[in-house]
Amino acid sequence: MALTGVEIFKLLPKTNCKKCGHPTCLAFAMKLAQRQASLDSCPDVSEDARRILGEASAPPVRPISLGVGDKAVKMGEETVLFRHDKKFVNPCAFALEIKDTLSEADITKKIEDVVNSEIDRVGQKLKIDAIALTNESGDAGKLETAAKLISSKAPQVPVIICTTNLQAAEAAVKPFDDRRPLIYGANADNAEAMANVAKTFKATLGVSAKGLDELSTLTEKIKSFDVEDMVIDSSARRAKEILEDNTLIRRAAIRKNFKPLGYPVITFAQREDSLHEALIATIGVAKYSSIIILSSIEKWKNLALFTLRQNLYTDPQVPMQVEQKIYKIGEATPEAPLLITTNFSLTYFIVSGEIENSKVPCRLAVMDCEGLSVLTAWAAGKFTASKIAQFIKESGIENEVKHRDLVIPGYVAILSGSVEEKLEGWKVTVGPREANGLPAFLRARAT
């Protein structure tokens, strides 16, 4: 169980020396209990206390890295069951299955699909994160050949080698020796041998068993072979089983600090029918999978899954927002139109995207409204005539543009008169209500 603030306090030196940056040992203990401070900040803590507190303060779901460099995937480290309690830490990764029975051309095509899967959505890069190479053939040589091809064509992409065949695992993992691969294939029959392969190649080990009891026994056994980096699979494949097992695993880890299940979860979502596959994957995204294996890449499926993942892994207590400033879009001259909106990320990216589509260079004044959208900010009194006027005056835009014409969003047309009153010498034009009306609106003004 995680220790309470008072239990932690009892283990601290109790000198209130303030070296940790907190006024008292008790205040520091409270921060440790909330996982908002690091024990390293107290230089005087005893070795014994450090050991006890170190174990207690380790994240209940073990942190694991897959791959190296910029494209490495981080998993685990979660501390809560629900995102309204605290932000989820590491977004689940999507991996595309590549079977070793495919031809070289087909494998190459799938590798390219993964490499080219990246899209930009509200300022974040979203992509298929990894490749899961499966030993469909059962042949070690075929798996090795496919592994070498993947290693040479996509050296940066994290890789999961899926096989229960020891020889095949050894042969296929070699090309990824220094790249922190994952070998998914340990079970009750081959645990010790697979643990040795994982140790030799510094790989994370994927462990599967039938149900949670067998799974927790198996992870403890593998831990006794000195392998601690594991991802776990309870063999749940149907939607209901995935939902149940993933929830029980996360609850056991978070609520009970039950270490045998305190590992990231891998989910196999592959289905013949893409829509069915997408639905299974959404359960994994929403309910605690750390890696989800997909059989194919389709743009619609990627977009749906990326958007769901992005929304769940943002901090619900902090709206996504962009910096307050005047953004130039295109080669904006001093005569270019000036539009204003709020700093909610989604609003900014949609409005700026539509301005780009119009091909009319503009300036977009983005006003800090604490990350609220236009109507919400207006209703909350943060996007008012006085505040808009003050922002425009203080922004220095009057030295940048030759005109005095401000385009406001159509949803706040009601503000046009009062903004003109407060912004002396300026004319206010009401723009379209929806951002998708901007291209026609701007082109009409340009002619």
Nearer residue to ligand SF4 within complex by CB, 4 or 116: 4
CB 88 within 8 A of CB 312: yes
Residue 377 is encoded by which pair of tokens?
């900010």
Instruction: Read off the amino acid at residue 35.
Output: R
- Span of 14-22, 179-187, 375-383, 398-406 interacting with ligand SF4 by CB under 6 A: 14-22
Nearer residue to ligand SF4 within complex by CB, 28 or 306: 28
Site string for ligand SF4, 43-62 (x = CB under 6 A): -x------------------
Tell me the angle at which helices 104-115 and 140-153 cross, rounded to the nearest 10 degrees.
40
Which spans in 181-298 are helix H? Answer: 191-200, 211-223, 239-256, 274-286
Distance of CA 3 to the CA centre of its chain: 28
> Minimum distance from CB of 58 to ligand SF4 (Å)?
19
Choose among 8, 75, 80: nearest CA to 41.
8
Nearer residue to ligand SF4 within complex by CB, 42 or 294: 42
Q: Per CB under 6 A, does 320 bind ligand SF4?
A: no
Query: 144's torsion region: left (phi>0), alpha (psi -120 to 50) or beta?
Result: alpha
- Span of 7-15, 50-58, 109-117, 331-339 interacting with ligand SF4 by CB under 6 A: 7-15
Applying CB under 6 A, among 3, 8, 11, 12 the residue interacting with ligand SF4 is: 12
Helix (H) or strand (E) holding 230: strand 230-233
- Site residues for ligand SF4, window 15-34 (CB under 6 A)? 15-20, 22, 25, 28
> Could you tell me how many residues make up the chain?
447
Tell me the angle at which helices 166-173 and 191-200 cross, rounded to the nearest 10 degrees.
10
> Minimum distance from CB of 3 to ligand SF4 (Å)?
14
Site string for ligand SF4, 271-300 (x = CB under 6 A): ------------------------------
How do the residues of the chain divide into helix, strand and coil, expressed in percent and rounded to 5? 45, 15, 40
> Minimum distance from CB of 12 to ligand SF4 (Å)?
5
N-to-C CA span, the chain: 69
Nearer residue to ligand SF4 within complex by CB, 22 or 180: 22
Report how far residue 212's alpha carbon sits from residue 256's, in angstroms, rounded to the nearest whole number.
15
Q: Per CB under 6 A, does 161 bind ligand SF4?
A: no
> Minimum distance from CB of 28 to ligand SF4 (Å)?
4
Residue 11 is encoded by which pair of tokens?
């283990």
Q: Per CB under 6 A, does 42 bind ligand SF4?
A: yes
> Minimum distance from CB of 196 to ligand SF4 (Å)?
42
Residues that bind ligand SF4 (CB under 6 A): 12-13, 15-20, 22, 25, 28, 42, 44
